[in-house]
Structure 1
Amino acid sequence: MYPKVNQNVLIETDSDHSCRSVISGIEDNELSIMLLDRDMIGLLTEGEKLAITYILETNKYQFKSTILGRKLGPIPLIRLTRPHEKDIIKIQQRENFRVSAALTIDLKDQEVAITNISAGGLLVTAPIDFPIETDEMVTGSFLLPLPNKNQAEQISFDGQVKRIAVQEKLEDKKQAGIEFIKISQRDQTKIMQYCFEKQRQNRLKEKQIR
């Protein structure tokens, strides 16, 4: 469960600043990270406490760390204290937590909307006459936006329709909940990262509203 070099992490300060970063080095007593938001560099000071969160094999972990200083170079790095493995906690959360999505999916030779998504499955909204039934096995693919990158990656899966419901507000639409039955761990991790990023963005919006 220990983070690895090139691991994507989220750092959060006590002053409610947050930034996506990448672990660039691991030594005996310290870590070095590269901030993906350069504007954050001036906001971080030596001795400041941070919470570091990351996803590994679809599980979410967090540890506390302290800024030791900076490493100068072509790419400035932040030096952090390295935690003991026993100090890394697995964040307990609802299994395969879902986030709202505005994506489209190729399903049964038609394009329908993805309403929400998790590492375990997705909910699609389709026309009322879309040919799909409960317990049916389906194959689908969709483009998933990558966090902090202006590109998307194709995700393919085999799944099973677990439930179908007609929307009360839109009588000409229905929703189908699909559970992933066969999907690569790499693609599942990408979905988890997407959900993680969406959750972070939602938290930031809530703070701005307050």
Structure 2
Amino acid sequence: MKIGTVLNLEIREAKTGEIHEYHCKIVEKNRKYFMIDYPIHSKTKRTAHLKKGTFISVTFIGNDQAIYQFTSKIVDKVKMNIPALAITIPENEDIKRIQRREYVRIETSVDIAVHSADKLFAPFTTVTSDISGGGMAIVVPKNIQLEINSKADVWLPLPMQNSEYHYVYGQTEIVLIREVNNRVNLVSLKFDSIGQADRQKIVRFCFEKQREARQKERI
């Protein structure tokens, strides 16, 4: 894990058993500890002032785009140019992969702009039906004529849990066109070329959506 890696934290309240979720970043590290900025609560957006000795469950997205988990503990407050906390670095064998490298696909509606790389169709905007780090399916009106194996450039604004939008660009290939009804088709796109940072944004977005779904199941 390098400086700047986003960490998602889960902390269980001892009295109620309720789980609170936060996000933060690694701002510095040494051989024993990660220094993290003060975590932000995923729902309230408030800064958390966590006590020394608090145990935390940490998840993060690795360089291979898989999601990893480990348990750590807050050991101290750290004086830096920003307020920070020191947490223990786990041994390699204590870091568990909780998602296979294959990209998880989630059903969600996200705005998307689509441009033909070969100028075979006019640019248009629509919404996704599902999305993953490997590609997506989009809803396309039947009056827009697309061809399998043709190339399309896509732009997506991803609404993250912290209320920020992360913008993603990718080059895709049309791999499947399915008829939904008399008005629209469902068109599957796979990424031919996408930056690692942009793909990681999509993987994180899918991870957050999965977590939201788990939270709703608990209610």
Q: Please name the residue that 1:104 is paired with.
A: 112
Q: Please name the residue that 1:196 is paired with.
A: 207
Normalization by structure 2: what TM-score? Answer: 0.80
Q: How far apart are 1:77 and its partner, in Å?
A: 1.7
State the distance in 1 between where 2:196 and 2:155 align.
16
Segments of structure 2 that go 5 or more residues without pairing to the other structure are: 14-18, 117-122
State how 1:80-95 maps to structure 2 within 5 Å. Answer: 80-93=87-100, 95=102
Matched, 1:120 2:151: no
State the distance in 2 between where 1:24 and 1:121 align.
31
Matched, 1:10 2:13: no
- Number of residue pairs matched by the alignment: 201
Residues 53 and 74 in structure 2, CA contact (< 8 A), matched pair in contact too: yes
Which shifted more, 141-150 or 90-99? 141-150
Percent identity among equivalent residues?
Answer: 24
Which shifted more, 125-134 or 145-154? 145-154
Q: How far apart are 1:121 and its partner, in Å?
A: 0.3
State the distance in 2 between where 1:46 and 1:171 align.
61
State how 1:1-210 maps to structure 2 within 5 Å. Answer: 3-15=1-13, 16-37=19-40, 39-42=46-49, 44-57=50-63, 58-72=65-79, 75-93=82-100, 95-99=102-106, 100-108=108-116, 109-134=123-148, 136-145=149-158, 147=160, 148=162, 150-157=164-171, 159-167=172-180, 170-207=181-218, 210=219
Normalization by structure 1: what TM-score? Answer: 0.83
State the distance in 2 between where 1:107 and 1:119 align.
19
State the distance in 2 between where 1:26 and 1:94 align.
26
Letter paired with 1:7:
T
Which shifted more, 94-103 or 114-123? 94-103
**Secondary structure at 1:28's aligned position in 2?**
coil
**Secondary structure at 1:177's aligned position in 2?**
strand
Cα offsets for 1:115-157 (capped at 9, x unmatched): 22111001100112321233x2222221333633644424131
Letter paired with 1:115:
S
**Secondary structure at 1:162's aligned position in 2?**
strand
Letter paired with 1:52:
V
* RMSD over aligned Cα atoms: 2.3
Would the alpha carbon gap of residues 206 and 78 (structure 1) be closer, same or farther in structure 2, given more than 3 Å must change? farther
